[in-house]
Amino acid sequence: MSGTVRRLLTITTAIGALVLTGCASAAGVAGQVGDAGYIAGDGIVTEIAPADRAAPGSFAGPLASGSEFDSAALEGVALVNFWYAACPPCRIEAPVLAELHAEYGDRVDFIGINVRDGAAQAMAFEEEFGIEYPSVLDDQSAQGQLAFTGIIAPNAVPSTIILDAEGRVAARVSGAVTDTSILSTLLREELER
């Protein structure tokens, strides 16, 4: 690998890490840092054709509830949401995700990946917004975040990734969702394949 390619990979990795630690603004402009000091998500939905899909790496970690999670437990279509409690767009989309879980939770595995908080903060958020699916506390190991490297990065927080029935990345929504329509459509498409 040439020095130039290595530097580009290092720069790309560093930029990805900086973006991932940012927070997507529901009202912000893509790529800009707003008055609140976080990077705005672009709101773009990225869908991956079935022939081009790949599975993320495995990840594990403690859940906010105190038990442990292993991604091998995901079976079939799954929704993976990257979030943290103080992220304003995460607070905006939380009721939407709770509603989607109520509708699809019996057919779709839902898992949150909390990128910053400890158990107490995460559980308070989940209680406040009625989130009934588990969240991995990923702030120490970043295993959940790194599992998607090279496939499709959760490039802003919040980001939501849909896995197909074979456990491959099917789609990503970068930034907050403000109603159920986009994710509901993506989930239905995967359930009907």
**Residues 48, 185 contacting (CB under 8 angstroms):** no
| Maximal CA-CA distance, the chain | 51
pLDDT at site 17: 40
The C-alpha atoms of residue 65 and residue 67 are separated, in whole angstroms, by 6
Q: 142 pairs with which residues across the strands?
A: none
pTM, two decimals, is 0.81
pLDDT at site 5: 36
pLDDT at site 42: 63
Cβ-Cβ contacts under 8 Å for 11 (sequence gap 6 or more): none
The C-alpha atoms of residue 111 and residue 63 are separated, in whole angstroms, by 10
Q: Is the peptide bond before 158 cis (omega within 30 degrees of 0)?
A: yes
Segments of the chain scoring below 70 in pLDDT: 1-42
pLDDT at site 16: 42
Q: What angle do CA 85, 25, 70 make, to 5 degrees?
A: 45
Interval 9-47: pLDDT, tens: 333 333 344 344 445 434 333 333 444 445 556 678 999
DSSP 29: P
The C-alpha atoms of residue 122 and residue 44 are separated, in whole angstroms, by 26
pLDDT at site 41: 61
The C-alpha atoms of residue 162 and residue 191 are separated, in whole angstroms, by 11
> What distances in angstroms separate CA 7 from CA 12, 17, 96, 145, 180, one per listed residue?
8, 15, 40, 22, 41
pLDDT at site 29: 32
**Residues 130, 101 contacting (CB under 8 angstroms):** no
Single out the residue of 152, 121, 140, 143 nearest to residue 72, CA to CA: 143
- What is the distance, to the nearest Å, from the Cα of residue 172 to the centroid of all Cα atoms in its chain? 8
Single out the residue of 143, 191, 135 nearest to residue 163, CA to CA: 191
